[in-house]
Structures are given as C-alpha cells and as structure tokens.
Amino acid sequence: MQGIISEEERDTIVKGLDEIEKRIESGKFEWRADREDVHMNVEAALIDLVGEPAKKLHTARSRNDQVKFHSIHFTSVFLSARNQNWTIVKKLEDYDCSCCHIK
C-alpha cells in the first residue's frame, strides 16, 4: 500500500459511492446541469456526502480510469432503466382498456 489515502478514507469513499449508486438506481440522484458531466455530478455529490476524503478520489488515477469506471456503471443503470420501461410497456399492452374506452 502506498499510503496515499488511509484505509478509513478509502472505506468512507467506497461507502459514499455505494450510496450514490443506490440513489442513481432508485432514480433519487439529483443530476445537475450546472455540473460539467457525469463525473462532476458524482464527484460533487460524493464531496457533499462524505466531505474531505472525497477530494482525494482523483489521487493517482487518470481521467481515463474514471471514464472507464463511470461508463461501466452508467451502462448498467441505462440497461436497468430500459428494462423497466419495457416492463411498463408490456403491462400496458396486456391491460384490458375496454373499461377506459380506449380503442
């Protein structure tokens, strides 16, 4: 271990990212247009959530490393949302709308 961040800081960052992931997956994450991109949204939310340790998130990591991590996560969230939308569409197709007077 290089000692760049402490184990406590690491654990705090990981717990914060886990919480942000839950918020994203549940649709409760506040995406802000004034933040440059997905990375800035996650970083700012993490700083708001856990404070100083989050400012060390970039330590010894390139932007490409972060893009890879966030791209994998974002793809997962997108696919989950798409599947949920198809489930809703299927339920609407299966619903008997005769009582609603829809033709």
Q: Which residue has the higher pLDDT, 92 or 22?
A: 22
Domain count, the chain: 1
Q: State how far the Cα of 46 lies from the Cα of 85, in Å rounded to an integer.
A: 28
pLDDT digits (tens, 9 = 90+) for 49-90: 999 998 887 655 565 665 666 666 666 666 667 667 767 767
- Structural domain range at position 11: 7-100
1 is a domain residue: no
Query: Token match 């760049």: residue?
Result: 4
| Ramachandran region, residue 30 (left: φ > 0; alpha: ψ -120 to 50; beta: rest) | beta
64 is a domain residue: yes
The answer to whether 53 and 5 have CB atoms below 8 angstroms apart is yes
Amino acid making up residue 5: I
50 is a domain residue: yes
pLDDT of residue 69: 60
19 is a domain residue: yes
pLDDT of residue 50: 95
pLDDT digits (tens, 9 = 90+) for 3-44: 778 889 988 988 998 999 899 888 898 888 898 878 788 889
Q: State how far the Cα of 51 lies from the Cα of 83, in Å rounded to an integer.
A: 34
Q: Give me 13's structure tokens.
A: 């960052």
37 is a domain residue: yes
The distance from CA 95 to its chain's CA centroid, rounded to whole angstroms, is 32
Report DSSP state, residue 27. T
17 is a domain residue: yes
77 is a domain residue: yes
pLDDT of residue 51: 94
Q: Give me 97's structure tokens.
A: 């709308």
